[in-house]
Amino acid sequence: MKVLTVVGARPQFIKAAPVSREIRKRGTEILVHTGQHYDKSMSDVFFEELNIPVPDYHLHVGSKSHGAQTGDMLAKVEEVILREKPDCLLVYGDTNSTLAGALAAAKLHIPVAHVEAGLRSFNRRMPEEINRVLTDHVSEWLFCPTQTAVNHLKDEGITRGVHLVGDVMLDAVGYNSRLAREKSRVLEELGLNRGEYVLITLHRAENTDDPARLSAIVGAINELPLPAVLPLHPRTRDKLPKWGLSIHNPHVRLIDPVGYLDMLELEVNARKILTDSGGVQKEAFFARVPCITMRDETEWTETVELGANVLVGADREKILRAVETFEVDFSRVDPVFGDGRAAEKIVDLLAGDLSR
Ligand code: UD1
Ligand code: UDP
């Protein structure tokens, strides 16, 4: 089995780590890094901490407009596919790297495997929604984290190749949480007390690229009455001054993006998590920490239905109220993301099909 894996953005490094480990037990993996994320704190740190092998190809695509970035990746991934002739191409999630990889392979009749298939926000203004819908529709294997994802695919007429395997991010947490507890010193370094701070992440384009939304969110952050820490995504770092905004609440520690082990430690010890990230919503659920999501809808609807996550949009009042009052009784919350062995199931299925 020769698998060509395409990754490029922070959450993909984290998702790929457990699957790469399984692939390399049974076959060959050629790893391609598109270069969509390139800062050390957005890329190298994950390869080092998660022991991800050095990419066989680095495409150095960097930051560009959607079309230019996706197009550049498409052309460069195509060259790699032609040279390597893999049995299949594996992509994760919903970034421009995902779509470029999937499209390049599908056009060359290389079967595509999509991890985190079937997610939908039903908001076509999100670039991620376009990426995931198109990727699903050219994929041969659709590895779904939840039953809801399977149902979404069925609604779009996709039933062949659909497998409910659970969420690979749960595998990653399972593998790394003890390591995070042992190695991370982030709480001491930042002077944070367990259970007494809010962890914030903010990067979604629909928030950062809309000055009204970003201004409302920043307004709420500037009024937070309790300690908080915000590892700032480079997209948001660039947009704040562009819209004349700044975070100046003395309770809020603004820091550079952190590595995965520090992030797990910050999540598991947070009083609450305030985020617009997809992955962080799930990790809050795994860590049994109440999650407040600054979006109007979410792909991870189960977390909301189970009462562990609340959607507050970009509404200053709602954000502040939820930080003050939103609580979750996790003893009544069912696990919905599988058993933490998604990577093994994915590679079993791929190996089985490819050996036929
Ligand atoms: C991308 C994904 C998004 C995902 C996020 C994870 C798309 C369309 N979006 O969004 O789904 O949630 O990654 O973090 O693929 N930048 C740097 N250094 C870096 C990377 C980015 O400075 O290493 C800055 C650049 O100004 C760049 C901006 O961040 O223009 C946005 O980066 P980009 O990769 O285009 O989108 P993300 O917002 O990171
Ligand atoms: N993450 C991290 N350091 C940070 C912020 C996030 O390691 O400073 C991790 C987080 O734990 C999760 C993933 O990055 O595993 C989520 O990525 P992100 O929020 O960038 O993207 P999304 O999941 O929204 O696509």
For atom 23 of ligand 2, the residue with the nearest CA is: 279
pLDDT in tens, 31-48: 999 999 999 999 999 999
What residue type is assigned to position 129 of the chain?
E
> Is 42 contained in some domain?
yes
Can 203 be counted among the known catalytic residues?
Answer: yes
Q: How confident is the model at residue 353 (pLDDT cuts 50, 70, 90)?
A: very high
pLDDT in tens, 189-215: 999 999 999 999 999 999 999 999 999
Same-domain pairing of 39 and 61: yes
Tell whether the model's pLDDT for residue 334 goes beyond 90: no
pLDDT in tens, 258-284: 999 999 999 999 999 999 999 999 999
Which atom of ligand 1 is nearest the CA belonging to 205? 38
Q: Which of 33, 37, 152, 203 is catalytic?
A: 203
Mean pLDDT computed over every residue of the chain: 97
What is the pTM for the complete model shown?
Answer: 0.98
Which atom of ligand 1 is nearest the CA belonging to 36? 34
Same-domain pairing of 271 and 122: no
Same-domain pairing of 13 and 148: yes
pLDDT in tens, 94-106: 999 999 999 999 9
14 touches ligand 2 (CB under 6 Å): yes
- Choice from 7, 254, 277 to test ligand 2 binding pocket (greatest atom count within 8 A of CB): 277
> Is 295 contained in some domain?
yes
Same-domain pairing of 215 and 316: yes
Which atom of ligand 1 is nearest the CA belonging to 279? 12
Tell whether the model's pLDDT for residue 11 goes beyond 90: yes
pLDDT, average across residues 59-72:
98
Same-domain pairing of 16 and 129: yes
Range of the domain at 6: 2-167+338-354
> Is 56 contained in some domain?
yes
pLDDT above 90 as % of the chain: 98
Predicted pLDDT of residue 163: 98
Report long-range pairs for 82-87 (Cβ below 8 Å, ≥24 apart).
82/108, 84/2, 84/4, 84/30, 85/2, 86/2, 86/3, 86/4, 86/30, 86/110, 87/1, 87/2, 87/3, 87/111, 87/354
Same-domain pairing of 239 and 118: no
Q: How confident is the model at residue 332 (pLDDT cuts 50, 70, 90)?
A: confident
CATH of the domain at 283: 3.40.50.2000
> Is 155 contained in some domain?
yes
Same-domain pairing of 349 and 203: no
> Who contacts 277 (Cβ-Cβ below 8 Å, separation ≥6)?
11, 201, 203, 204
Cβ atoms of residues 235 and 309 within 8 Å:
no
Predicted pLDDT of residue 159: 98
> Is 174 contained in some domain?
no
For atom 10 of ligand 2, the residue with the nearest CA is: 280
- Cα(8) to ligand 1 centroid in Å equals 10
46 touches ligand 2 (CB under 6 Å): no
Same-domain pairing of 258 and 131: no
pLDDT, average across residues 74-89:
98
